[in-house]
Structure 1
Amino acid sequence: MTDLDAAVRALARAPRLLVALDFDGVLAPIVSVPSDARPLPDSAAALEELATLPDTTVALLSGRGRADLAAVSGFGDPIRLIGSHGSEFDDGASLLDDEQRARLEQLTAELRGLVDGEPGVTLERKPAGVAVHVRNAPPDVGTRVLDAVRAGPATWDGVEATPGKAVLDLSVAKMDKGAALDLLRERVAADAVLFAGDDVTDETAFSRLRPDDVGVKVGPGDTAARHRVDAPPDVTTLLRQLVETRRHGREA
């Protein structure tokens, strides 16, 4: 039995369990067109089964806007969808005040000017910000655009910049996945948490995990997570193990 196997078996016995996962690169393989991303079918089935178990909360915690996350994941209640790095919870609360809304409009206009005519660069409008995607841009173009964004609107007062894989997220509301995970844990009164992520933006969540929690880094790169798997199909295996162990433990 590996260390991760043992950790999952222990986690499955938690009275109240929170399973929180990033989407891209964790449930869904990374694709060149973000709107084409879909969860691996077996991972989706495992998550849906987990969400039906007693005292078990399942949530996606993504950098995508919540509406986009719902569209690509195909999930809905009882699986919770939290977007924009935690700035967009699924409780309908208003995100922005009047000053932040004005700042967002100014930010959007500035970014449109910076990326206009740059091949392969796209903007993703979110409820609390804008993401600059350069995955499909030539390397020199991506570097030039992101450097300009970092030197310009990313330095504005009231704007928070969050780098990711071939993307820079700019938000007018301060939030990160770690803070969002803490809030979600509190709201569902979870005794233990499984969090899996693949991006640098997930490190804020890994850093908030407690001794009884399980953090799983998907893919390469430095991480604060105690466990690692290679790719989304390994997440499928992990989720299936958690489903079976938690269900059987409750039936015993």
Structure 2
Amino acid sequence: MEFISATGEERYAALVRVAADSVIGLDLDGTLSPIVDDPSLARIHPDAGEVLVELAEHVAAIAIITGRPARQALALGGLDDVGNAIGEMGKELYIFGQYGNERWSSVNRRVISPRPPHGLASFLLGLPSLLRRADAFDAYVEEKGLAVAVHTRRLPDATAAFERLLGPVSELAAANDLTVEPGRSVIEVRAPGTHKGDAVHTIAEELSTRGFMFAGDDLGDLEAFAAVEELRQSGQATLLVCSSSDEQGALLRRADVSVDGPEGVLDLLRQLSRDAASARL
């Protein structure tokens, strides 16, 4: 764990003091699970479940806020069992899927989801010819129900393919009243409106939090960072954590703490558990 903001250490200490009334928000890919070439094969870090259950004892709630569909996050992370264990101690695990458009919790174990945006079907019809023109026909297209993700990581030059695709994909999305969310070698297309920051505000308001931590790794987490900064302005203890990579520096410039990928995130959560337990003695 490396404190990178001038007040990062103070913010961590303030969060520890109000841990019992705080929410720990976490992205999934790149934060709790390693980034892999095939997103369908991504798995949560094998130690994550145990760490989350231990942490839940010391905080108000844990919220996983991800671009993945909620059901997929549950399956890839074994989070149903994690939710059971957290529920047994009287705490709650939340999953906000598809950037907050979907919601699941260990108490209300049903995924609440809106209908797909109207323009998504038209976007999908136009996507193959767009990929051909951009010399990226082999890009992996992931249909998420409420969104479509175009992954370039498998292509020979993932960065160049991403840069070729971002403009045309953005234009096709705009023509269908959709919005674009760039990430690490992925371009996500979804309905405008709801984003990760909305999920942060929703759970902070529902639980009347005094503190909020969020850890993320790419551009899709910027709205969550902004929402936590707004909570900070209202007087809450907050901590922003960047699960670092060479691919994305935007979060690093706004973070209080930098950690080395999922291993570093889990080390931070373990430390937070220890410090919060000590603070209660």
TM-score with structure 2 setting the length: 0.78
Contact 2:241 2:259 in 1 (8 A): yes
Q: Counterparts of 1:173 and 1:82 in 2: how far apart (Å)?
A: 16
Q: Find the partner of 1:71 among 69, 75, 79.
A: 75
Letter in 2 for 1:24: D
1:110 aligns with 2:120: no
Q: Which structure 2 residues correspond to residues 225-244 of structure 1 after superposition, within 5 A? A: 225-244=255-274
Contact 1:48 1:79 in 2 (8 A): no
Q: Percent identity?
A: 30
Q: Counterparts of 2:78 and 2:9 in 1: how far apart (Å)?
A: 29
Match of 1:80 in 2: 94
Q: Which structure 2 residues correspond to residues 172-251 of structure 1 after superposition, within 5 A? A: 172-209=191-228, 210-211=231-232, 212-220=237-245, 221-222=249-250, 223-250=253-280
Deviation at 1:141, TM superposition (A): 4.3
Letter in 2 for 1:154: A
Q: Counterparts of 1:47 and 1:244 in 2: how far apart (Å)?
A: 13
Secondary structure at the aligned position of 1:72 is classed as: helix
Letter in 2 for 1:42: D
Unaligned runs of 5+ in 2: 84-91, 105-109
Q: Counterparts of 1:106 and 1:43 in 2: how far apart (Å)?
A: 39
Q: Which structure 2 residues correspond to residues 17-96 of structure 1 after superposition, within 5 A? A: 17-51=22-56, 53=57, 56-76=60-80, 77=83, 78-90=92-104, 92-96=111-115
Secondary structure at the aligned position of 1:123 is classed as: strand
Secondary structure at the aligned position of 1:213 is classed as: strand
Unaligned runs of 5+ in 1: none
Q: Counterparts of 1:55 and 1:44 in 2: how far apart (Å)?
A: 15
Q: Counterparts of 2:131 and 2:73 in 1: how far apart (Å)?
A: 24
Q: Counterparts of 1:71 and 1:94 in 2: how far apart (Å)?
A: 17
Secondary structure at the aligned position of 1:26 is classed as: coil
Post-superposition Cα deviations, 1:176-210, rounded to whole Å, max 9, x if no partner, equal 21122111211222211010011011111112223
Contact 1:120 1:135 in 2 (8 A): no
Q: Find the partner of 1:168 among 173, 177, 187.
A: 187
Match of 1:11 in 2: 15
Q: Counterparts of 2:193 and 2:156 in 1: how far apart (Å)?
A: 31
Q: Counterparts of 2:271 and 2:162 in 1: how far apart (Å)?
A: 40
Q: Is the alpha carbon distance of 1:10 and 1:130 closer, same or farther for their aligned partners in structure 2, counting shifts above 3 Å?
A: same
Secondary structure at the aligned position of 1:12 is classed as: helix
Structure 1 vs Structure 2 CA RMSD: 2.5
Match of 2:89 in 1: none
Deviation at 1:162, TM superposition (A): 0.9
Q: Counterparts of 2:269 and 2:164 in 1: how far apart (Å)?
A: 40
Letter in 2 for 1:202: D
Q: Counterparts of 1:141 and 1:215 in 2: how far apart (Å)?
A: 30
